[in-house]
Structure 1
Amino acid sequence: MPRPPLLLALLSLAACARPHYSAPVPASFPPRVAHAGSVAARPSAVTSIEAVDYLLVRGLELPVAGMTRVQLRDTFDEGRDGGRVHRALDILAPRGTAVLAADSGRVLRIGANPLGGNIIYASDPLGRVVYYYAHLDGYQPGLTAGATIARGDTLGYVGTTGNAPKDTPHLHFQVMRMPADGRYWDGEPINPFPLLLLVRTASQP
C-alpha cells in the first residue's frame, strides 16, 4: 500500500542531520553589548529544572502560523545520521508559512549556517532561555539582531534551507537554557513538546 505523502515527509526528516546537544555554532558572532536585563549582563545561568519551571509559568506560543497542538509530533529524542540526537522539534508546514515568536524577548542573532540554513536565535525577556528557529525560507523584513519582539510576532517563513530535505519544508525549533558563559548557541536543550501542548492561561509580557 502506498504511504501517505505526510508519512513520507515525516520519514524523510530522519535524513536531516543535527548536532548532538546544541544548535550549530555561528560562523561569526555579533558583538555583545551589556545592558540591564541583557544576556551579556547576566551573572549566571539558571538550571534546566529552573528553566522548565520558568517556561511552565510563561507558556509558549506555537511557533508556526495555523498550527494546532494536535498536529505537533515529538521528534526531540529521534536519532539522526552520524549517531546524533535531534534535541528539537520539526514542525511541518507549507513553504512560506509564517514562523512566529514562541515567546517575547530579544533577537540575539540572524544569520545562516550549513546545518540550519537561515536561522534566528532569540531569548526571553530575562535572558534565561534561548529559542532557535532554523531552515527558514527568509526573514521578516526589517527584523534585526537586538530587536525586541513580542510573542506571536512574525520572525520569518518556513523553508528548506541548510540540510533540510528539499521536498519537506519545516521549522526546526529548539529551546535551550542560557549558559552561564553567554554562549547562547551552546545551551542545554529542553524538550518544548510538552510545553507547547499546554494552553497558556496567564498573560506574560
Structure 2
Amino acid sequence: MYKIMMIEDDEKIRRIVADTLKKWQYDVVEVTQFNQILKEFENTEPHLVLLDINLPIYDGYYWCQQIRSISKVPIIFLSSRNQNMDIIMAINMGGDDFIQKPFDLDILVTKISALIRRKYTYQEIEIPSFNHRGLKLNVTNSTIEYEGDGAELSRNEFILLQLLMRNIGKIVSREDMMQALWNEEQFVDDNTLTVNVNRLRRKIAILGLEEFIHTRKGMGYLIE
C-alpha cells in the first residue's frame, strides 16, 4: 500500500481528500502539527506528498525545499493561489505538479496514481540491459549496440529509449515521456521531446536498424 503524506491546514479539505484516498486503498498520514514537518516526513517515509502553500509558521515553498534536500519523493502542491508565478515557484522549488483549489477529486486521484506509477513502477526492477530486435541498451553506461557497432546516448535519449524498451508493444504517450524527462529535473517542452526522439532514431538508424521507434499520431510512440 502506498503512503501519502498530506500537509494541509484546512481541516475540511484534509478530511475530504483523506477519506477519498483511503477509498482508493492509499495509506494517508495527515499532518496536524506544522512546526516539525520535516521530522514527521522522515518518520513517515511517504511515497508521495500533498502540500498546501499557505501554512502556519512556514509556507509550503519552504517545506518543499526542506523535503527536496533529503528526498526525491513526488510532491503535488494544492493551493488556492492561481497566478502563473505561484505555479512557476512551486515547480522551481521541486514540486512535480500543481493543482488549484477547488479541484475535482477524481482529477487529484488520477494525478496521484500517475505520479506514483511513473516514480515507483518503472524503478522496481533494475535491469542491466534491454534487448529487442538485436538492439542492446546498456543501462550501466548509456550505450546501444547493434551487430557489433555501438553508440553513446545523451541523458535524454537514454531516458526515452529505456522507457520505450520497458514497454515493448505498448504506446507510450508524449505526456509520459515528457514527465520522465521532467522527473530528472529538466524542463522539457513538446518541441524538445520531438528533437530528442528524432536524434535517438538517427543514432539507431546509423547502426543499421531502421524504423525501430514508431509514431502513433496523436497518441505517442512505441517499439513493436
Q: TM-score, with normalisation over the residues of structure 2? A: 0.23
Larger radius of gyration: 2
More helix by share: 2
Which structure carries more relative contact order (alpha carbon 8 Å, separation 6+)? Answer: 1
TM (norm. structure 1) is 0.24
Name the one with the larger strand percent. Answer: 1
